[in-house]
Each structure stands twice: as structure tokens, then as C-alpha cells.
């Protein structure tokens, strides 16, 4: 896009070169400067102010929901500085309003997606050519730099493992792989036409070096490979690009002990509703796609604004006037945002995803975020093929936590030492009674994290009955069974 041309949307149909020419020219200049690391603070602030006004005009003119939701607001007077005066947009709003949230009729979109509907009504998430092109640029820049760092001037074969039908995963990464000239193969292990056995055969035969998947699949693939007699050290996978759920550094380090040739790098943080929010660098950090969003952090229980750095629930305002731009959208995700340091391989602030607000876990004397619990369990642990946390209430009213861990076969003393260290960390961190059980036959629900939620997949809380997310995860768990 360095010549100011309009970017293509990744194989979604022909483009009219004259439409929205002013937007594409301005976006091209800002995006190119951003990814070269040359976008000045003044130019960024000017872009954000202009785009905020354009998007507010767009939604109040074309979205029935926002016409009501922002009634009485002087959109010309709204700036990034006073954006917090506007009301939030919530997931409940999206579920209630459905197509009325859209800023235009559906036929103006280029492709239709919707949310999975696992914890509520599936909401429409169509994308127009502006949405597709501006979102995919961030993914393309991330992959271009990371693949060059890992593979030099050659392109590896990329294996895509994720849902495809009404979800953007397959289309986004197919488009980006095509733009970069990388061969890709769609191998969904949960598909009845593929399964883990065929997926592993294809990985070996096609010499798939990059696998794009949810973090849990890194473990499932390893367990399946061992089950079917593969030597993990001889399989060609060198890079797991993960998305869809939290992926802590401790998790990544554990995966490296299972796959001797491979490293794990988060590749994308986003959602059906909010598109590509951040992309990964070879450092393991995620960086915000800054030209496309205004970001706020709020206190999750009160909605009070924390600022644009620090820790809190992420709130997004989209700066692209596509088919479904959202204003002050509460993502429900707990994140930590820090300024990018000098010499980072990607521009934009760093963002660390801590977990869903709804996945916070009161345990013993503390309330843990999902990332904190996973870090405590996997810190220094190697050879773990999966884990599940079971929480019970003891007779005296205190909490007891048992971690069921699937560990590679090894010396009994080594496995016992791992278990004792994990239990000690949890006792110290939470004050709860903690124990470890080594179990090679974990519930398949542990592999469903990206489909429903990390908590539904990883935590069995016997202090209360299963919620809707847990019930949904159990209904689909058979799809993730390794031997079917």
C-alpha cells in the first residue's frame, strides 16, 4: 500500500477503484507510516479525531440502533478526549438489536459471519470490503515479519486448524497466506472428515512447518501424535501461531518441551464483532492495530475509566466506517496495555490478554484471572499434555483445589516433584488446600477452550452448578476427542 493504492480485501470480489477514494488514500498513508514506525503522535491524533467524527456520522445516519443509542449526542463535538461521555455498547445490546446494529443493509457487505452463539444468541457479524482490507493489513504485516524472522526468504507450508463455516478464521488466514505467497492447507482436526489421525498424516507428508490453531490444540496434537506412534522430534512443525484463548508464556514454554523443534507465538487477538484488534510479533508480544481503533480501559465492575494504559476491561471504538462499526464496545476481556519499547518488531502498544471478565475465579483468599491461574500451574513445568482444575468446598467452608495433569511418562520421582511444586505454588498463591493428580485420560472438554471459554474448558467448580458455557462445552467436547 506504499503507493497509496486501495488494499484488496483478500479474495472477496472485485473493487470499484473510485469508491471511497479519499478514505483509501488517507488510510494508505497512515497505515504505511504506522508500519514503518514513522507515524508521528500529531498525525495519529489527527487521524483518530477525523475518523471518530466520520464513524459517528456514519452510525447515527445508517444504524437504527445507534440512531437511538446516541440520540441527542452532538457527534461533531465528540473527540477522543471526551469519548467517555458516550454510553457503552455491550454484548447484550448486540444480542438484543441484532441486524439493527448494522450500518447499512446486508447486501452492502461482502461476506457474512456470526458469533458462535455458545453463551447467548449468535449475533450477525458481516464484513464489508473496508472491514476486511483494513483488518487483514495488520495480520499480513505481522505474518510477513514473523515468517521472515523464522524462515528467511522462503515461505513455509502453513496448516490452518480452526472453524470455517460462519467464522472468519479460515478466510482471513487464507487471504493473508495467499498475499504472502505461502501454500496453506485447511486441516480441522475436529471435523469428522479430517480428525487427528489424518491431520497428523498431512502435517508429515506436506511438511507443514507452521500450524495456526488455538493453544489447546498444541497439546492435543502432541497427545494424538504420541497415541498414533509419531516421534514429536521428527515432525516438521517449527512454529505454532495461536489465537482464540489465553496463551501465557508458561504455556508456550511447556509446549516447547513437547515439540522440540517448535516455538509458540500468539498471532492474533480479536473477535467476530471487533475484527483483528492486535497481532503478534516474534518476541511473543501482541501489538494493537492502532490505526483501526480507539482503546480505553475500564474497571470491569463499575465501568469507571482507567485510561489507555494499565490493566482493565478493554473498550473499543472502531475508526473504520464499515458495515458494523462499534462505539465504546465493552469486549468483556481483561487486558494489560503497555507502550511499545524501542526496536520492537511491530509498532503499536503491547497488549496482554489476561482472560475474560466472566472467567475470574475466587479461590481461597484471592480472585485469580485465568492467566494468573495458568501461570501458577505451568510455571517451570515441562511435558504437560493437558490439565484441568477441580475446585471443591471443604466441610469447614474453605476451598480445595485439585489439578489433574496429563504428564509425559517419566521417572516417578520427577513427576512427583512436578506435582509437589505446582501444589506448593497454588497454596502459596491462594491459601487454599491444593493437590495434584496425574491422569492420562483427561476429560475432552479441556480441549474446547477457544470454542466456548478457557474457564469452561479448564475449570470444574463444584462449589456451584455448571453454567451455560460449561454445559455448551460439554455438548461439543466429543468433537475434540483425539482418537475419533
pLDDT tens string 219-241: 999 999 999 999 999 999 999 99
CA 164/CA 186 separation, integer angstroms:
9
The topology under which CATH files domain 1-356 is Rossmann fold (3.40.50)
Residue 191 · residue 198 · CB < 8 Å: no
- DSSP 8-state code for residue 309: S
Any bridge partners for residue 412, and if so which? none
Residues of the chain below pLDDT 70: 1-19, 118-119, 163-165, 411-412, 448-452, 467-484
- DSSP 8-state code for residue 110: S
Any bridge partners for residue 266, and if so which? 242
The pLDDT, as a whole number, for residue 1 is 47
Any bridge partners for residue 367, and if so which? 362
Whether pTM exceeds 0.75: yes
The tens digit of pLDDT for each residue in 171-217 reads 999 999 999 999 999 998 888 889 999 999 999 999 999 999 999 99
CA 322/CA 104 separation, integer angstroms:
9
CA 313/CA 297 separation, integer angstroms:
5
The pLDDT, as a whole number, for residue 450 is 58
The pLDDT, as a whole number, for residue 449 is 61
DSSP H helical ranges for 431-481: 454-458, 468-476
The pLDDT, as a whole number, for residue 3 is 43
DSSP H helical ranges for 63-168: 64-69, 91-97, 129-151
**Where do the CATH 3.40.50.12780 domains begin and end in the chain?**
1-356
The pLDDT, as a whole number, for residue 9 is 38
- The number of angstroms, rounded, from the C-alpha of 17 to the middle of its chain's C-alpha atoms is 33
**Where do the CATH 3.30.300.30 domains begin and end in the chain?**
360-480
Closest CA to 446 of 383, 387, 379: 387
Q: Is the dihedral of CA 253, 258, 263, 264 positive or negative?
A: negative
Kindly report the CATH number that applies to the domain delimited by 360-480: 3.30.300.30
DSSP H helical ranges for 370-445: 370-378, 412-430
Grouping H, G, I as helix, E, B as strand and the rest as coil, residue 106 is helix
Long-range interactions of 163-169: CB distance < 8 A, separation 24+: 163/116, 163/188, 163/190, 163/451, 164/188, 166/112, 166/113, 166/114, 166/122, 167/113, 167/116, 167/272, 168/113, 168/125, 168/127, 168/272, 168/275, 169/243
Closest CA to 283 of 212, 351, 375: 351
For 279-300, letters b (16+ CB in 10 Å) and e give bbbbbebbbbbbbbbbbbbbeb
Any bridge partners for residue 240, and if so which? 211, 264
Amino acid at each position: 500500500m506504499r503507493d497509496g493504492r486501495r488494499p484488496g480485501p483478500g479474495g472477496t470480489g472485485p473493487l470499484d477503484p473510485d469508491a471511497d477514494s479519499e478514505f483509501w488514500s488517507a488510510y494508505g498513508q497512515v497505515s504505511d507510516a504506522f508500519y514503518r514506525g514513522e507515524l508521528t503522535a500529531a498525525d495519529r491524533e489527527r487521524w483518530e479525531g477525523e475518523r471518530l467524527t466520520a464513524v459517528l456520522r456514519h452510525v447515527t445516519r445508517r444504524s437504527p440502533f445507534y440512531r437511538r443509542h446516541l440520540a441527542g449526542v452532538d457527534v461533531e463535538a465528540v473527540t477522543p478526549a471526551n469519548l467517555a461521555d458516550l454510553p457503552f455498547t455491550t454484548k447484550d445490546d448486540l444480542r438484543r438489536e441484532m441486524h439493527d446494529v448494522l450500518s447499512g443493509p446486508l447486501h452492502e457487505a461482502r461476506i457474512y459471519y456470526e458469533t458462535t452463539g455458545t453463551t447467548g444468541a449468535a449475533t450477525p457479524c458481516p464484513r464489508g470490503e473496508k472491514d476486511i482490507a483494513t483488518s487483514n493489513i495488520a495480520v499480513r504485516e505481522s505474518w510477513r515479519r514473523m515468517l521472515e524472522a523464522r524462515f528467511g526468504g522462503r515461505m513455509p507450508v502453513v496448516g490452518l486448524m480452526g472453524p470455517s463455516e460462519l467464522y472468519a478464521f479460515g478466510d482471513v488466514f487464507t487471504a493473508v497466506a495467499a498475499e504472502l505467497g505461502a501454500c496453506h492447507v485447511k486441516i480441522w482436526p475436529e471435523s469428522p472428515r479430517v480428525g487427528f489421525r489424518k491431520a497428523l498424516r498431512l502435517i508429515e507428508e506436506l511438511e507443514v512447518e507452521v500450524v495456526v490453531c488455538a493453544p489447546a490444540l498444541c497439546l492435543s496434537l502432541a497427545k494424538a501424535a504420541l497415541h498414533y506412534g509419531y516421534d514429536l522430534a521428527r515432525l516438521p512443525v517449527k512454529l505454532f501461531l495461536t489465537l482464540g484463548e489465553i496463551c501465557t508464556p508458561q504455556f508456550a514454554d511447556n509446549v516447547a518441551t513437547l515439540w522440540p523443534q517448535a516455538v509458540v507465538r500468539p498471532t492474533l487477538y480479536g473477535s467476530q464483532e471487533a475484527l483483528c484488534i492486535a497481532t503478534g510479533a516474534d518476541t511473543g508480544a501482541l501489538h494493537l492495530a492502532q490505526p483501526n481503533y480507539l482503546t480505553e480501559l475500564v474497571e470491569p465492575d463499575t465501568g469507571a475509566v482507567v485510561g489507555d494504559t494499565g490493566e482493565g476491561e478493554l473498550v473499543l471504538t472502531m475508526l473504520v466506517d464499515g458495515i458494523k462499526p462499534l462505539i465504546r464496545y465493552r469486549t468483556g476481556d481483561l487486558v494489560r496495555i503497555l507502550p511499545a519499547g524501542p526496536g520492537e518488531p511491530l509498532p503499536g502498544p503491547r497488549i496482554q490478554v489476561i482472560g475474560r471478565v466472566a472467567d475470574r475465579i475466587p479461590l481461597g483468599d484471592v480472585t485469580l484471572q485465568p492467566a494468573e491461574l495458568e501461570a501458577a500451574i505451568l510455571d517451570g513445568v515441562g511435558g504437560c499434555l493437558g490439565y484441568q482444575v477441580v475446585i471443591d468446598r471443604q466441610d469447614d467452608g474453605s476451598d480445595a483445589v485439585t489439578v489433574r495433569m496429563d504428564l509425559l511418562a517419566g521417572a516417578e520421582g520427577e513427576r512427583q516433584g512436578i506435582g509437589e511444586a505446582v501444589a506448593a505454588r497454588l497454596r502459596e498463591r491462594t491459601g487454599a488446600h491444593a493437590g495434584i493428580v496425574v491422569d492420562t485420560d483427561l476429560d475432552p472438554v479441556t480441549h474446547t477452550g477457544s470454542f466456548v471459554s478457557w474457564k469452561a474448558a479448564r475449570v470444574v467448580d463444584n462449589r456451584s452448578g455448571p453454567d451455560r458455557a460449561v454445559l455448551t462445552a460439554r455438548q461439543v467436547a466429543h468433537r475434540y476427542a483425539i482418537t475419533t
